[in-house]
Amino acid sequence: MSRGKGLWCSLLLLQLLFETCCNGGACRPSSCGKITNIKHPFRLKDDPASCGDSRYELSCENNRTVLYLFPGKSYHVQAINYNNFTIRLVDPAISDSGDDCSTLPRYSLSARNFSDSYGYMDIPKYSEPYGTIQKRTHYDVVRMFENVIFLNCSYPIRDDPRFVDAAPCVKEGGNVYAVLGDMEVGELRDECRVKMVAASSFLVPPRSWKDSFFIYQNLSYAEIHRKLSYGFHLSWMIGGACSSACGQLSSCFFNETSPNLITCRADRCFTPITFNECRDVSKLQIIAEDFAYGFLTGFNNKVIVRDTGEKISGKKNVVAAIKVGAFTGRFLVPYMIVKYALGSSGFDEEEITTIRM
């Protein structure tokens, strides 16, 4: 009986040790293809449930590590850097070698697909798992990748060096050009339409997100395509590292001299149009500030740059609030002002209609 109790106690102790090990994050690294060090916060789909963070789950398909960044959109993982909290991805339609410049990305992707340019970018509670910018100091924010905008134009563009001709690589109808960097709506030519937007982190050195829109480089399209095959970086610092080290309501920035490579900053946090002490922001405040931001943007007749396209951690009304505010500022208020001004000038409804015509 004593021997049986001893065996039972030993088995129980081993089980407790195993659970403690796994729950404490001491899982063995996984591997798939050339990615041989998949560890916390990342995990493979078939790893034990207690290992890694489900928000950073990867798949192993045909001996290749794959990230489903958005529903139905998978990207090949080229590298994971645990020293600067970045992951490098490449579109599956772009060859790794970059020798075949005829291929175009399968998916259109730009910084506007992510919410970290929004006011809550550095608060873990409101952040998405991946971001397109990374804080390097208190106020210095660098981009993780640059946009490559593909345009299909009805006529050849010869008077703008930013338009890089994709021929003879891309053989499609019309005239296909690649433009490096961002474009404002007002700078699109009437004879051109946006075909897609791609991402690359190898075009220029990391630069501040406030820098000028366009990138001036004398590159051929073959060179641009080779750089697309390098892929693009995303940062997982806020959601994957900052939350663990600093908590859900404190911001942080990358710091190479810090033991855990990040420095917590709990003094102030961002909301859409103001700075506040770090705290849980109510949904009502979010919607109110988003409406105000949209109103001011629309009233000034500018393009909305903080439309997340998705949502911010369950706050599903935020984009709608921005758009309602923008519509009010751009159309409704000017209409009311004009109508009031014309009405007070003695015009009747028929005269106003004639003026509008």
Domain borders along the chain are 96-253, 282-356
Per-residue pLDDT, 299: 64
Per-residue pLDDT, 349: 47
Per-residue pLDDT, 206: 57
Identify the DSSP state of 132: S
Q: Say if residues 230 and 200 touch (Cβ distance below 8 Å).
A: yes
Per-residue pLDDT, 121: 58
d(CA 198, CA 104): 9
Per-residue pLDDT, 234: 94
Per-residue pLDDT, 151: 94
Per-residue pLDDT, 40: 93
d(CA 266, CA 287): 24
Per-residue pLDDT, 20: 41
d(CA 244, CA 208): 26
Residue 272's nearest CA partner among 257, 262, 259, 287 is 287
Residues of the chain with pLDDT under 70: 1-25, 97-98, 117-123, 137-139, 203-217, 249, 266-283, 299-319, 321-322, 342-357
Q: What is the pLDDT of residues 39-57, one digit of tens each?
A: 999 999 999 999 999 999 9
Per-residue pLDDT, 177: 94
Q: What is the pLDDT of residues 84-107, one digit of tens each?
A: 899 999 999 997 766 788 889 999
